[in-house]
């Protein structure tokens, strides 16, 4: 594998990892906001519940966008012509010959 391919693969991997991290952060925020909305709803504070529900929806949407982008980058990586030694099977464990 050439140095250029190694650098490109590393950059793609770091970018995908960043999107996964951001997605997980947004999903955590969505979960927390959803729980807060449920608490407010049970207490009868419907405006506050609506506010937190909207925030939960916003975070869920952002997480979805990050996961779509990670998938898009992964597909671009799979379309590149990597040397045989750099390709692995579908499980990620064995090399494809």
Report how far residue 38's alpha carbon sits from residue 48's, in angstroms, rounded to the nearest whole number.
Answer: 10
pTM: 0.75
Could you list the residue range(s) of the whole structural domain that residue 76 is in?
Answer: 3-86
The predicted pLDDT at position 80 comes to: 72
Residue 96 lies in a domain: no
Report how far residue 95's alpha carbon sits from residue 87's, in angstroms, rounded to the nearest whole number.
Answer: 6
Contacts of 27 (CB under 8 A, 6+ apart): 59, 60, 63
User: Helices marked H in 1-97 — which ranges?
Assistant: 3-43, 46-79
Residue 32 lies in a domain: yes
Residue 78 lies in a domain: yes
**How far apart, in Å, are the Cα atoms of 34 and each of 21, 54, 71, 72?**
20, 9, 26, 28
Nearest to 62 by CA among 33, 26, 93: 26
**Residue with token string 């982008």:** 69
Q: Pick the residue with more confidence: 33 or 90?
A: 33
User: Per residue in 47-82, pLDDT tens?
Assistant: 999 999 999 999 999 999 999 999 999 998 888 765
Contacts of 86 (CB under 8 A, 6+ apart): 1, 5, 9
Query: Where residue 95 falls among pLDDT bands split at 50, 70, 90?
Result: very low
Residue 60 lies in a domain: yes
* Number of domains forming the structure of the chain: 1
């Amino acid at each position: 594998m050439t140095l250029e391919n190694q650098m490109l693969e590393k950059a793609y991997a770091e970018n995908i990892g960043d999107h996964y991290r951001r997605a997980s952060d947004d999903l955590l925020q969505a979960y927390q906001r959803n729980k807060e909305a449920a608490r407010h709803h049970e207490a009868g504070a419907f405006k506050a519940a609506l506010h937190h529900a909207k925030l939960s929806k916003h975070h869920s949407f952002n997480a979805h966008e990050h996961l779509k982008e990670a998938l898009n980058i992964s597909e671009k990586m799979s379309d590149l012509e990597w040397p045989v030694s750099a390709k692995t099977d579908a499980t990620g464990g064995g090399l494809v010959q």
